[in-house]
Amino acid sequence: MVNKDVYCRVIRERLPGVLDRIAAAAGRAGRGRDSVRIVAVTKGHPQDAIAAAVAAGLSDIGENRVEELARKHPAFPGGDVRWHMIGHVQSRKAGRAARLAALVHSVDSVRLAEKLSRIGEADGRRVPVLVQVNASGEAAKGGFPAAEALDGIGTVAALAGLRVLGLMTMAPFTADEAALRSTFRRTRALMEAAGAIPGVEGRELSMGMSNDYAIAIEEGSTMVRLGTALFGERPG
Ligand SMILES: *Cc1c(COP(=O)(O)O)cnc(C)c1O
């Protein structure tokens, strides 16, 4: 268990600073620390990282690949972990994503939404999801383009096997604070508009990663997806 001890030490060193930054950013936005949930992103890290996160009180765990989620999931049978699917889900893996994750952040097409909805209906439940928005307009980014997002959210929210709880976005990979801020601000404005759409049940905003979470929180994020900030660089 040397490895788990190492991860425990890394988290112990890093988490207090992260919590301070979250509290400060939330305070600047006039919100409480409790309005922001940390999703600890363990992709590329071993099970020991998840065990260490749970020991530190971080029970929301994010993975960006369905295979990796499926591989790690059985090691935590007790319900201590709330799994978050945060990466692109191929249609043929939608069943596993819907059944293993407590929340699928990355609904990036009507086709995937329909697939997830059919699985929810077959299981007699509604799958909790966020709609991914490409608010930066970068060609390489997934999600509904901002101009089409409200139509897309309407279509997704009408599906009987889904619960739409909010939106998710990925900011551009840049240190340009203005570009980051405008991506988050656009997503928040979309969330406010989407709130009027029937079937949109939540106001969650999954936005902010290790390099930009303070800005994301200032702009309204309710879930930050943190890997490097908590665990250090990913191995390999
Ligand atoms: C990897 C990943 C993160 C976390 O990235 P860090 O920069 O390590 O915090 C967040 N969101 C998604 C979708 C990811 O794939």
Query: What is the residue-wise DSSP string for 141-208?
Result: --SEEHHHHHHHHHHHHT-TTEEEEEEEE---S-S-HHHHHHHHHHHHHHHHHHTTSTTEEEEEEE--
CB 26 within 8 A of CB 6: no
Cα 163 to Cα 14, 77, 93, 130: the distances in Å are 34, 24, 19, 8
Q: Which of 209, 215, 221, 228 to mutate to test the pocket of ligand 1 (most atoms within 8 A of CB)?
A: 209
In sign, the C-alpha dihedral spanning 118, 123, 125, 126 is: negative
**Residue 80 in this model has a pLDDT that exceeds 60:** yes
Terminal-to-terminal C-alpha distance of the chain: 20
Mean pLDDT of 89-115: 98
| Pairing of the two strands 223-226 and 37-41 | parallel
Write down the mean pLDDT value for the chain: 96
**Quick one: pLDDT at residue 187?**
98
Ligand 1, atom nearest to 231 Cα? 8
85 C-alpha vs ligand 1 centroid, how far in Å?
11
- Report which of residues 137 and 97 the model is more confident about: 97
Q: What is the pLDDT of residues 15-31, one digit of tens each?
A: 999 999 999 999 999 99
pLDDT band, very low/low/confident/very high, at 140 (cuts 50, 70, 90): confident
- The residue contributing the CA closest to ligand 1 atom 14 is 64
Mean pLDDT of 172-178: 92
Task: Kindly list the protein residues whose Cβ atom lies closer than 6 A to any atom of ligand 1.
Answer: 41, 43, 64, 86-87, 170, 209-211, 225-229
211 C-alpha vs ligand 1 centroid, how far in Å?
9
Mean pLDDT of 150-171: 98
- The residue contributing the CA closest to ligand 1 atom 11 is 225
Give the angle 75-40-201 at the CA atoms, nearest 5°. Answer: 100
221: three-class secondary structure by DSSP: coil
Cα 94 to Cα 169: distance, rounded to the nearest angstrom: 20
Closest to 208 in 3D by CA, of 176, 183, 231, 233: 183
Give, to the nearest 10 degrees, the angle between helix 146-157 and helix 110-123. 20
| Pairing of the two strands 127-134 and 162-169 | parallel
69 C-alpha vs ligand 1 centroid, how far in Å?
14
198 C-alpha vs ligand 1 centroid, how far in Å?
31
**Quick one: pLDDT at residue 217?**
98
CB 198 within 8 A of CB 157: yes
**Residue 146 in this model has a pLDDT that exceeds 90:** yes
Q: What is the pLDDT of residues 188-229, one digit of tens each?
A: 999 999 999 999 999 999 999 999 999 999 999 999 999 999
Token code pair at residue 44? 């590329």
The region that residue 172 occupies, defined by phi over 0 for left and psi between -120 and 50 for alpha, beta otherwise, is: beta
Closest to 210 in 3D by CA, of 182, 231, 183, 188: 231
145 C-alpha vs ligand 1 centroid, how far in Å?
20
- The residue contributing the CA closest to ligand 1 atom 15 is 64
**Quick one: pLDDT at residue 2?**
60
68 C-alpha vs ligand 1 centroid, how far in Å?
14
pTM above 0.85, yes or no: yes
Ligand 1, atom nearest to 209 Cα? 9
- What size, in residues, is the chain? 236
